[in-house]
Amino acid sequence: FVISGYLMAKSIQTSPSLSTFYAKRVSRIWPLFVLASIFIYAFSLVVPPPRVLDGPSRFNAGSIGIYDLFGTIFFLKDLGFDWVDGAFWSILVELKFYFWIGLFAAVLGKGYETIFIRVATLVCVAYLLVLIAGEFALAAGVAKRVRTVMNGVLIAKYLPFFALGIALFRRQFDADVMILLFGSCLLAVLAVADNQIFEMQAALRFTTVLIVMLMLDRAMTGGKLLLWVGRYSYGIYLFHQMIGLALISRFTAVMPLDAAIVMATAIVVAIAWGASVLVEWRYRSRLEGALLSIMRIARLDRVTVNGYGLLQRSRKARET
């Protein structure tokens, strides 16, 4: 989310209008997402992923129907549909962030970053206060409902991380960013503390191996491997969970676990690469053009995001 905040602030800077920004973002996500959703749904019918019905490691416990596939394709989780793959939850968070950052840039114009950071800080503090209120029995029910609304509308649990990315893009470290950084760290600590299956030693081992691999890639290829993974990272993200775990559960019947993980990872990366080549890059520009035409009807193409905002133009008009 921090990386996304940085990249979206950069995208805003190069987008001439609100319609361009929104069209680029949706066309980047949706074509491959639709293919992945249908593929995973069909794959799961043939090769069911493992199920864990109870306990903190509960996974894939419910049944997914064709209506959930429809709800997944159109991001209708908030209306009660289930994801065909639970890993998709973060895409909806991303889409909500795109909406908010585009709105801030359109209304406030240049300098929207500072206001966005301050608003994210206020949302973070308010969310922490709601968490504290939830510790009291009398306020627990109300606090839970408020938390649900804040996360559903304002993505309160994640907004500070997006704002940190915007702050990195702005390259100005000030008191606002310090407060935001502290609040984000606290939210991260609370999330880890609330996760009953988080294993610190395993996380440290993984992070150490990752750092070593990145250093080797930098020294041996100049970072080309990382750039390749980055190019296809969205596809890898979409296909990795359900398909990867289903393959691992099958492969462990005939090979050791580590070998099964390597084999499943290779297959997932191959699927992600093929899907990206067939769909992501082929239909992205077509969908972007169609979305721009639709948004032109609502005149969003006249709303700038990297110049004067709607409030600034309105104020100048009144002065004139």
Using only the alpha carbons of the chain, give its radius of gyration. 22
Q: The tokens 């129907």 sit on which residue?
A: 65
Q: Is the pLDDT of residue 116 over 90?
A: yes
Q: Is the pLDDT of residue 74 over 90?
A: yes
Cα end-to-end span (Å), the chain: 41
User: Given CA atoms 57, 63, 69, 75 in this order, what sign does their dihedral have?
Assistant: negative
The per-residue pLDDT for 20 is 93
Q: Is the pLDDT of residue 318 over 80?
A: no
Phi-psi region of 55 (alpha: psi -120 to 50; beta: other; left: phi over 0): left
- The number of beta carbons lying within 10 Å of the beta carbon of residue 178 is 12
Position 232 confidence tier, pLDDT thresholds 50, 70, 90: very high
Give the distance, in angstroms, between the CA of residue 312 and the centroid of all CA atoms in the same chain: 31
pLDDT per residue over 245-286, tens digit each? 999 999 999 999 999 999 999 999 999 999 999 998 888 899
The per-residue pLDDT for 127 is 95
Phi-psi region of 259 (alpha: psi -120 to 50; beta: other; left: phi over 0): alpha
Q: The tokens 């991260």 sit on which residue?
A: 188
The per-residue pLDDT for 195 is 85
pLDDT per residue over 152-201, tens digit each? 999 999 999 999 999 999 888 888 899 999 999 999 999 888 888 888 89
Cβ atoms of 37 and 31 within 8 Å: the answer is: no
Average model confidence (pLDDT) for the chain? 92
Q: Is the pLDDT of residue 205 over 90?
A: yes
The per-residue pLDDT for 139 is 82
Query: Phi and psi for 212 in degrees, rounded to 5?
Result: -65, -45
Position 137 confidence tier, pLDDT thresholds 50, 70, 90: confident
Cβ atoms of 152 and 172 within 8 Å: the answer is: no
- The number of beta carbons lying within 10 Å of the beta carbon of residue 249 is 16
Calculate mean pLDDT across residues 112-140. Answer: 91
The per-residue pLDDT for 53 is 85
- The number of beta carbons lying within 10 Å of the beta carbon of residue 24 is 18
